[in-house]
């Protein structure tokens, strides 16, 4: 949020984004701060959404935005940094700088907001805050004790060490920056979370940047409009009015807007629609598929829109030279009958992320043998899709050339079968192998090795240089001098 220089400026509380590598303790610090038990509600303690919370310290409010640390959620981290006034970069003291720590630093620098370093997990053996600071300096992040300007604090979400100090640092930075909002401006801000609630409909968390938001206001984003039917604070308490910096939950959008979209207030729905027209963009980019290329169709249903983007990002990493992954539809909501119908028509798999299939969808899927798989954790979803892609490849039947035989003698010729003597001139040949018959370097027919003999004994295979007897069956009579190319067909274990 930029500082405003208008007329009706009022103080507003800081919006603080928590960034850092996966598992370094972002959610735990927030939990400790507000005792929100955020971690408990998450699958496996992994944050997969942005969460927004408001806390009060020494009579002053702070809005926190939690972000996920897993590499797939880069877009969410970048957005978090853009919406926020201050970033807290959490680094586990025993692990130090990791890839997403570096990535977070670059988001923070791009957003141009002040940062505070929280060196967390100080209670753990092996905690080495000095090493963390040295590693930071390599990234051009100089903390105060290293002669720089960036404040840092040693914390433990386990014992509570440094948590108060962290809050004080945040308030101190906020005081220096002196964040203001212009409440005379029409209300505007950013969507930080958005999903389709099965009971309440499109449910959106937003943070107001300027103006005042009231129940009944008309809102428009680049993808959707709506009228605020219900407005709640982040704990679900109904409110009539919201001021800047405060996270609020809004019900009333016609469908769930995209996370990160900006919103504005309009006089009426028509103006909102008109002004926002043309901003509509499809969620998925159309894929060009080469003729003959294999395709895995999937239909994706997710809990919140932010998940679609994160899933697309992990799926993009899967190798797709051999099988192209095509997301036919990616939507927020439960898996329903129409998803299964689409799957039947397009031979697609239906994948749910933190949603379930409703009963009629389950019944239809069972009847039509459509696969529905649901996940709570994004990497498990990605692994399952990889397995599905691999299965597509492994069902591929490939021809394996074995060797060549030159026919030296015909011992017996009957209808459709001959007993011949030959010499393996290349590779090796096997009983049961298919044959192509070549005469004067031209393919003239095909058959197979029904039986194979070497020195008058039945044998499974014969190698180059050896002579053998063959019971040949085929669509053409072979002659002395013909070359038989032996091959087998096998289903190849796929590699993506």
Ligand X SMILES: Nc1nc2c(ncn2[C@@H]2O[C@H](COP(=O)(O)OP(=O)(O)OP(=O)(O)O)[C@@H](O)[C@H]2O)c(=O)[nH]1
Q: Which residues bind ligand X (CB under 6 A)?
A: 20, 22-28, 39, 45-47, 68-70, 120-121, 123-124, 156-158
Task: State the minimum distance, in angstroms, from the CB of residue 354 to ligand X.
Answer: 15
24 or 354, CB closer to ligand X? 24
Least distance CB 255 / ligand X (angstroms): 28
Among ligand X, Mg ion, none, residue 24 binds (CB under 5-8 Å by kind): ligand X
Total chain residues near Mg ion (CB under 5 A): 3
- Extract long-range pairs of 453-460: CB within 8 Å, 24+ residues apart: 459/431, 460/430, 460/431
- Cβ nearer to Mg ion, comparing 26 with 180: 26
CB of 293 to ligand X, least distance (A): 36
Residue number, 33 or 389, with CB nearest to ligand X: 33
Please tell me the distance from the alpha carbon of residue 98 to that of residue 335, in angstroms, as a whole number: 37
Give least dist CB 68 to Mg ion, A.
6
Question: Which CB sits closer to ligand X, 124 or 349?
Answer: 124
For the residues of 21-77, what is the DSSP string, one character each? STTSSHHHHHHHHH---HHHHSGGG---S-EEEEEEETTEEEEEEE---SGGGHHHH
The continuous run of DSSP H or E covering 361 comes out as: helix 359-368
How far apart, in whole angstroms, are the C-alpha atoms of residue 371 and residue 351? 8
- Nearer of residues 263 and 353 to ligand X, judged by Cβ: 353
Nearest distance from C-beta of residue 46 to ligand X, angstroms:
4
Distances (CA, A) of 202 to 139, 246, 251, 360, 477: 41, 20, 6, 22, 74
Among 12, 17, 29, 47, binds Mg ion (CB under 5 A): 47
Buried b (16+ CB within 10 A) or exposed e, 283-322: eeeeeeeeeeeeebbbbbbbbbbbbbbbbbbbbeebebee
Q: Is residue 124 within 8 Å of residue 94, measured between CB atoms?
A: yes
Alpha-carbon distances of 161 from 74, 118, 121, 240, rounded to whole Å: 29, 11, 9, 38
Q: Which does 23 bind (CB under 5 to 8 A by kind): ligand X, Mg ion, none?
A: ligand X
First to last CA, the chain: 44
Phi, psi of 307 (to 5 degrees): -70, -35
Which of Mg ion, ligand X, none does residue 256 bind (CB under 5 to 8 Å by kind)?
none
Which residue number, 157 or 228, has a Cβ lying nearer to Mg ion? 157
- Reduce the DSSP state of residue 126 to 3 states and report it: coil
Nearest distance in Å: CB 82, Mg ion: 19
SS3 content of the chain, % helix, strand, coil (to 5): 25, 40, 35
- Asked whether position 48 contacts Mg ion by CB under 5 A, the answer is no
Q: How far apart are CA 273 and CA 266, in angstroms?
A: 9
Closest to ligand X by CB, 36 or 299: 36
* Closer CB to ligand X, 22 or 384, in the complex: 22
Site for Mg ion contains 100 (CB under 5 A):
no
Angle between helices 359-368 and 337-346 (to 10 degrees): 20
Stretch that binds Mg ion, among 24-32, 215-223, 237-245, 307-315 (CB under 5 A): 24-32
Q: How far is the CB of 256 from ligand X (least distance, A)?
A: 22
CB-nearer residue toward ligand X: 28 or 320: 28
Minimum gap (Å) between residue 32 Cβ and ligand X: 8
Q: How far is the CB of 270 from ligand X (least distance, A)?
A: 42
Spatial distance between the Cα atoms of 278 and 260, rounded to a whole number of angstroms: 17
Q: Does 27 bind Mg ion (CB under 5 A)?
A: yes
Q: Which stretch binds Mg ion (CB under 5 A): 46-54, 144-152, 282-290, 307-315?
A: 46-54
Q: Which does 180 bind (CB under 5 to 8 A by kind): Mg ion, ligand X, none?
A: none
Return residues touching Mg ion (CB under 5 A).
26-27, 47
């Amino acid at each position: 949020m930029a500082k405003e220089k208008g007329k009706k400026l009022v103080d507003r509380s800081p919006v603080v984004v928590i960034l850092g590598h996966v598992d370094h303790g972002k959610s735990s610090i927030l939990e400790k701060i507000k005792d929100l038990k955020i971690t408990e509600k998450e699958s496996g303690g992994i944050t997969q959404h942005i969460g927004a919370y408001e806390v009060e310290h020494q009579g002053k409010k702070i809005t926190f935005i939690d972000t996920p640390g897993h590499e797939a959620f880069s877009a969410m981290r970048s957005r978090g940094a853009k919406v926020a006034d201050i970033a807290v970069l959490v680094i586990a003291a025993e692990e130090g700088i990791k890839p997403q720590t570096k990535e977070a630093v670059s988001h923070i620098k791009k957003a141009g907001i002040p940062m505070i370093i929280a060196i967390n997990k100080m209670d753990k053996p092996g905690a080495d805050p000095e090493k963390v600071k040295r590693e930071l300096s390599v990234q051009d992040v100089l903390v105060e004790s290293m002669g720089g300007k960036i404040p840092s604090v040693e914390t433990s979400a386990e014992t509570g060490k440094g948590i108060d100090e962290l809050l004080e640092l945040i308030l101190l930075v906020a005081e220096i920056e002196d964040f203001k909002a212009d409440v005379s401006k029409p209300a505007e801000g950013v969507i930080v979370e958005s999903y389709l609630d099965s009971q309440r409909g499109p449910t959106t968390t937003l943070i107001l940047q300027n103006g005042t938001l009231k129940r009944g206001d008309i809102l428009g984003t680049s993808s959707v409009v709506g009228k605020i039917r219900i407005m709640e604070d982040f704990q679900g308490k109904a409110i009539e009015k919201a001021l800047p910096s405060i996270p609020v939950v809004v019900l009333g959008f016609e469908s769930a807007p995209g996370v990160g979209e900006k919103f504005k207030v309009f006089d009426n729905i028509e103006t909102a629609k008109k002004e926002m027209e043309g901003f509509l963009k499809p969620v998925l980019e159309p894929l060009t598929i080469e003729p003959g290329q294999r395709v895995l169709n999937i239909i994706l249903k997710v809990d919140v829109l932010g998940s679609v983007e994160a899933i697309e990002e992990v799926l993009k990493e899967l190798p797709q030279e051999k099988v192209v992954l095509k997301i036919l539809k990616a939507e927020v909501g439960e898996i329903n009958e129409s998803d299964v119908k689409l799957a039947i028509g397009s031979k697609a798999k239906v994948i749910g992320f933190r949603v379930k299939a409703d009963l009629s969808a389950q019944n239809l899927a069972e009847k039509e043998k459509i696969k529905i798989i649901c996940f709570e954790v994004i990497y498990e979803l990605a692994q399952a899709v990889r397995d599905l892609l691999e299965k597509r490849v492994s069902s591929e039947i490939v021809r394996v050339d074995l060797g060549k035989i030159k026919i030296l003698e015909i011992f017996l010729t009957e209808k459709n079968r001959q007993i011949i003597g030959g010499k393996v001139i290349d590779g090796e040949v096997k009983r049961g192998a298919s044959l192509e018959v070549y005469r004067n370097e031209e393919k003239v027919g095909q058959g197979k090795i029904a039986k194979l003999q070497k020195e008058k004994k039945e044998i499974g295979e014969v190698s180059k240089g050896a002579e053998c007897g063959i019971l040949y069956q085929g669509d053409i009579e072979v002659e002395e001098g013909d070359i038989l190319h032996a091959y087998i067909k096998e289903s190849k274990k796929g590699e993506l």
